[in-house]
A = this chain, B = another copy of it.
Amino acid sequence: MTAAPVLAGPVEIIGTGLLGTSVALACRRAGLEVLLSDLDADHVRTATGLGAGRPRRPEDRPQLVVVAVPPDHLGEVIASALSAGDGVVTDVGSIKEIPALAVAGLPGAERYAGSHPMAGNERSGPLAASATLFDGRPWAITPHAASSPDAVELVRALAEVCGGVVAEMTPAEHDRAVARISHVPHLMAALTAGRLAGAPAEHLALSGQGVRDVTRVAGGDPDLYSQIVGGNATAVAELLGELRAEIDTLLAALTEGDRTSIEAILRRGNAGTTAIPAKHGGPIRPMASVFVAVPDAPGGLARLFADAGEIGVNIEDVRIDHDPGRQVGIVEVVVDAAAADGLVAALGSRGWASHS
Contacts and interface: CB of A to CB of B under 8 A. Distances in A.
A194 B132 contact: no
Contacts of A218: 266, 269-270, 272-273
Contact of A169 (B202, B248, B330, B353): B202
Interface string A285-324: 0000101010011111111111111101111111111111
A271 interface: yes
A229 B206 contact: no
A240 to B, nearest CB: 6
Contacts of A178: 206
A223 to B, nearest CB: 7
Interface in A151-210: 165, 167, 169, 173-174, 176-178, 180-182, 184-208, 210
Contacts of A190: 265-266, 268-270, 272
A213 B213 contact: yes
A199 B263 contact: no
Given A177-B203, A196-B276, A233-B255, A118 B208 contact: yes
A251 B237 contact: yes
A324 B276 CA distance: 11
Main secondary structure of the interface of A (DSSP, over half): helix
Which of A187, A276, A312 gathers most chain B CB within 10 Å? A276
A135 B328 contact: yes
Contacts of A257: 230, 233
B197 A211 contact: no
A57 interface: no
A212 B309 contact: no
Contact of A268 (B174, B194, B213): B194
Nearest to A227: B259
Interface stretch (A33-41, A105-113, A136-144): A136-144
B265 A191 contact: yes
A326 B165 CA distance: 9
A203 B191 contact: no
Contact of A136 (B176, B215, B268, B326): B326
A353 B324 CA distance: 33
Interface in A229-262: 229-230, 233, 236-237, 239-244, 246-248, 250-251, 254-255, 257, 259, 262
Given A199-B180, A305-B304, A222 B328 contact: no
Nearest to A177: B203
A219 to B, nearest CB: 4
Interface in A102-141: 118-119, 123, 128-133, 135-138, 140
Given A216-B273, A223-B263, A306 B302 contact: yes
Given A247-B243, A251-B241, A280-B325, A132 B293 contact: yes
A354 interface: yes
A3 interface: no
5 contacts: A181-B199, A198-B271, A223-B263, A229-B262, A281-B325
